[in-house]
Amino acid sequence: MRRSRRGAGILARYGRWAVVTGASEGIGEATARALAAEGVSVVLIARREERLRALADELATAGVATKVLALDLARPESAAAVAAATAALDVGLLVAAAGYGTSGAFLAADVDDELAMLDVNCRSVLALCHAFAPRFAGRGRGGIVLMSSLLAFQGVPRAANYAATKAFIQSLAEGLRIELRPSGVDVVASAPGPTRSGFAARADMRITAAETPAVVARETLHALGRAGTVRPGRLSKLLEALLSPLPRSARVRIMARIMDGMTRHQGDGKEPLSAGKPA
């Protein structure tokens, strides 16, 4: 049964409704559009209600239903609010695309901002998985998409906490994939490289080469039920090919040089890590 469903579309494999966090922009928005194009109705979740309403109006033209939940996932009660608001819907897919990053010298970081990032990138994702996985297992089918990152596979100087949050997501997805598979629930970790979204501006990073959110969304949804981890886009695949054969310590040093270039404009008074300093 599961093998035959993998050749079907998202609607046939998982059902009518999907929950998408971070749907106001970037990968979350692109994923909501991709799901609507397949006839899947979408629960749109983000903080900016006006952006969600505009997207909901647009998706209605595709003939799908939508539900807007304007929530701040940094708040610990938000996951329970999502579960309660969707209790009457036959949700078969969770796409946890909400998240943000920071960059720059760790010693100059605002600890409250770093802790809030942990709440959004890790705590809320864990809580949502715990809320929806039993529902999916109970109906005998379901899908969970977790957003990892190219940075999840080694420590990253000048983005240490963000990379650590994505390492948590990568590990969580790998474990849940095996544990939930006998219940009919597919789990995939999507590990894109730089993507053209609001992420770079929020993280105060200057990115020159990036993939489009539409490509990331399309390849991620295609991989669900087929792979445990997907690296969507040509840039992500190229960087994986270059980095994966190297020892972890070497990858850390390479990422230090890359982050130096992306954050040098911040002028935080720190010498570049690539200038002979150990990473």
Residues tagged active-site:
162, 166
Q: Collapse the DSSP code of 69 into the 3-class scheme (helix H, G, I; strand E, B; otherwise coil) and give the result.
A: strand
Contacts (Cβ under 8 Å, ≥6 apart) of 200: 194, 206, 207, 210
DSSP state of 116: H
- Angle, CA of 148, 183 and 120, to the nearest 5°: 30
First-to-last alpha carbon distance for the chain, in angstroms, is: 49
Helical spans, DSSP H, in the chain: 2-6, 10-14, 26-37, 49-60, 78-85, 111-118, 124-139, 160-180, 199-203, 213-223, 234-243, 248-263
- Angle, CA of 50, 53 and 57, to the nearest 5°: 145
Return the H-helix or E-strand segment holding 110: none
Return the H-helix or E-strand segment holding 156: none
From edge to edge, which strands make up the β-sheet containing 142-147? 66-70, 41-46, 17-21, 91-96, 142-147, 185-190, 229-230
Dihedral class, residue 184 (left if φ above 0, else alpha if ψ from -120 to 50, else beta): left
How far is Cα 233 from Cα 210, in angstroms, rounded to an integer? 9
Question: What single-letter amino acid sits at 29?
Answer: E
